[in-house]
Structure 1
Amino acid sequence: MSKVKKLTKGQQRRIKANHDKKLQTKTTKGSKDKVQWDDDDLGPAQHGTIISRFGQHADVEDELNNIYRCNLRRSIKSLVCGDKVQWRIGKETQHSITGIIEAVHERDSVLSRPDVYDGLKPIAANISQILIVSSVLPVFNSDIIDRYLVAAEQTGITPVIVLNKIDLLTSISVAEQEVIEKQLAIYKDIGYQVLYASSQSRDGISELKSQLSQHTSIFVGQSGVGKSTLVNALMPDVGILTNAVSENSGLGQHTTTVARLYHFNDGGDLIDSPGIREFGLWHLTPEQVCHGFIEFSDFLGLCKFRDCKHQTDPGCALIAAAEDEKINPARLASFQRILASLNDNKLTSRFND
């Protein structure tokens, strides 16, 4: 008998790779292959709304408010909570998957956040209203409100400012109360709607419900302002997790883990999303930031120099307008701080949910 020739290391590697591939195909055949339906295995096309997204799966709500977990066609490049889709139900449920999403309808609006690695990353779609939540405690920060307003103006989605925890106003000084009210008065003068609420005292909750009833809304705001607590007050049957403000840092902790769309009993929808943890503006141009300050519009293009940086430049129309009290100096200062931070690609303008 002739001696068997010894395999080379390269041949051994190729054989092992082919063997592993066969094993993987064999072990996954009972899972992945079974949820790839043929057309004959699917019902007619129907419309639905994405309630939540989980990797390669998504929960779809049909027109009768029934929810189905579905696979995604490979042709779908982007799918987020709030998307309107075309989907088909399978004739049999396979491995908890009941259907497949075939197409995404054109979005009326999309809320995205910048990501260092992925560029602009969509986090929710078809939103008609952004509620920017601030609070009396841990701290009222108008700079963060201004940044959210800029982001909202870029999307074309209507922003509404909410001052939360108004039951705590008596725990701060009169001077601090005056600072908060003065800043909110600036937003009102510009034309923004400002609401007041407290989940503890229930003040303003009915007004907030009325504001939400005809919209698909999303709450944004820095850590600890009480977004989840507000949602629980608005829809107590949902029971979204909340965390108390840290005694050490004075900040809250992010509690939402997966974006999800909820329905209010009185009408309207709410998307609760962890994607609002980071909401930097570093991807915007100075011109885009400028247009995010809507009261500046009458003075844009009037600067002495076309490349005016609106900082200390001579002949700056915005600086002159602030000096003449045609725009508020505090808003101009906030605008200048945002411009100064645009080159920081490390997301200095980062908000924690």
Structure 2
Amino acid sequence: MAKAKKLTKGQLRRIKANHDKKLHGQKSKTKQNEQIHWQDNELSAPQTGTIISRFGQHADVESSEGNIFRCNLRRSIDSLVCGDKVQWRQGKETEHSISGIIEAVHERDSMLSRPDVYDGLKPIAANISQILIVSSVLPVFNSDIIDRYLVAAEQTGITPVIVLNKVDLLTEISQEKQNEIEQQLQIYRNIGYQVLYASSKSNHGIDVVKDQLASHTSIFVGQSGVGKSTLVNALMPDLGLLTQEVSENSGLGQHTTTVARLYHFNDGGDLIDSPGIREFGLWHLTPEQVYHGFIEFSPFLGMCKFRDCKHQNDPGCALIAAEKNNEITTKRLASFQRILGSLGENKLTSRFND
């Protein structure tokens, strides 16, 4: 009688899983996945990949060939987000849809984080080269929100680009409101920020935005209702991201992105679409960090009469003097003062929504 062939470790695991299933019923996929532990000889050689999406203790990794594999994470990995470059190894066999394991995260060129009441700074995405701050004509154009995003962007060192969306609706607002919006956008241009105009409905400016995205890894930020997902759909018509209309009651859109995901543009460039920008408060920053976020204020840093100047009505305030001399704008100074005033508010209420 021929000697029975020795079962592989993978076959033994499947036999045990089937046995447990019969005894105790179907286990959740999550628990099954947690039980997968490859031995070193069951894994291929280490290779470099990019995190496309993260799901709890699992992540989708894109290989250098463009294939996507769902992987477990080594316990030693304490932070992993979309855009991360990682070292991973593919399993010789796929177990419960898990194809490999992520072993290490390469050093990040940049990281976008948001403050979390319980976890401190929480990473959102990595290796981003530009942040597109999306505002819109309707439901309301809010320069204070743009200023807050600019402060957050300046803290990361990632280049911000301002996008005015829904320009097809300009005809639905008064000429006075149109002039106010254009005057504010000109302030940003004078400071040195790039401003783009777009409309997914009329397709105005879509090609210009595409060109801006072509050589970057980008992320879109902005309040609900400004049309971020609709704009992404116009830029990537094959993607089919879910969108919802602006609520007539609140004037705000509803968040339709549920899991952060990295997408590739056909003409080059990547986009990370993330729900993690819903809460992007500045309450964790110091007044000095906010000061640095208003880049045109830099010539006046340290020039106030008193070191503890609050930049409100303090005597000898260099910023107030600069505003009177038309070296900085009244609107930006007022926005800066409002942000400083909000830093002491309760952490749970001082956030602002995307």
Scaled by the length of structure 1, the TM-score of the pair is 0.91
1:227-275 deviation digits (Å, cap 9, x = unpaired) = 0000000001111110100011111111100000000000000000000
1:118-148 deviation digits (Å, cap 9, x = unpaired) = 0000010000000000000000000000000
| 1:257 correspondence with 2:289 | no
Q: Which residue of 2 aligns with 1:166?
A: 167
User: Secondary structure of 1:35's partner?
Assistant: coil
Q: Which residue of 2 aligns with 1:58?
A: 59
- Find the aligned partners of 1:33 and 1:151 in 2 and give their Cα distance: 36
1:43-77 deviation digits (Å, cap 9, x = unpaired) = 00000000000000000000111000000000001
User: Secondary structure of 2:145's partner?
Assistant: helix
Q: Quick one: structure 1 residues 28 and 352, their matched pair in 2 at CA, closer, same or farther if it must change by over 3 Å?
A: closer
Aligned CA RMSD, in angstroms, stands at 1.6
Q: Which residue of 1 aligns with 2:292?
A: 291
Aligned length: 330
Give the counterpart letter for 1:270 in structure 2.
Answer: L
Q: Which residue of 1 aligns with 2:15?
A: none
Report the Cα offset of residue 28 of structure 1. 8.8
Q: Trace 1:84-233 onto structure 2 (pairs within 5 A).
A: 84-233=85-234
Asked whether the equivalents of residues 279 and 349 of structure 1 are also in contact (C-alpha less than 8 Å), the reply is no
Give the counterpart letter for 2:122 in structure 1.
Answer: K
Q: Which runs of 4+ in 1 moved over 2 A?
A: 26-34, 345-353
1:284-325 deviation digits (Å, cap 9, x = unpaired) = 000000000000000011100011110110000000000110
Give the counterpart letter for 1:318 in structure 2.
Answer: L
Q: Quick one: structure 1 residues 110 and 33, their matched pair in 2 at CA, closer, same or farther if it must change by over 3 Å?
A: closer
Q: Quick one: structure 1 residues 285 and 92, their matched pair in 2 at CA, closer, same or farther if it must change by over 3 Å?
A: same
- Find the aligned partners of 1:314 and 1:50 in 2 and give their Cα distance: 52
Asked whether the equivalents of residues 280 and 348 of structure 1 are also in contact (C-alpha less than 8 Å), the reply is no
Report the Cα offset of residue 31 of structure 1. 2.5
- Find the aligned partners of 2:141 and 2:35 in 1 and give their Cα distance: 53
- Find the aligned partners of 2:28 and 2:294 in 1 and give their Cα distance: 54
- Find the aligned partners of 1:276 and 1:34 in 2 and give their Cα distance: 33
Asked whether the equivalents of residues 82 and 262 of structure 2 are also in contact (C-alpha less than 8 Å), the reply is yes
Asked whether the equivalents of residues 222 and 228 of structure 2 are also in contact (C-alpha less than 8 Å), the reply is yes
Q: Which residue of 2 aligns with 1:276?
A: 277
Asked whether the equivalents of residues 87 and 106 of structure 2 are also in contact (C-alpha less than 8 Å), the reply is yes
Q: Which residue of 2 aligns with 1:4?
A: none
Report the Cα offset of residue 27 of structure 1. 6.8
- Find the aligned partners of 1:237 and 1:28 in 2 and give their Cα distance: 33
1:155-203 deviation digits (Å, cap 9, x = unpaired) = 0000000000000000000000000000000000000000000000000
- Find the aligned partners of 1:324 and 1:33 in 2 and give their Cα distance: 64
Report the Cα offset of residue 35 of structure 1. 1.6
User: Secondary structure of 1:345's partner?
Assistant: coil
Q: Which residue of 2 aligns with 1:314?
A: 315
User: Secondary structure of 2:32's partner?
Assistant: coil
User: Secondary structure of 1:261's partner?
Assistant: strand
Q: What residue ranges of structure 1 are gaps of 5+ in the alignment?
A: 1-22
Scaled by the length of structure 2, the TM-score of the pair is 0.91
User: Secondary structure of 1:217's partner?
Assistant: strand
Report the more deviating stretch, 29-38 or 101-110. 29-38
Asked whether the equivalents of residues 200 and 230 of structure 2 are also in contact (C-alpha less than 8 Å), the reply is yes
User: Secondary structure of 1:187's partner?
Assistant: helix
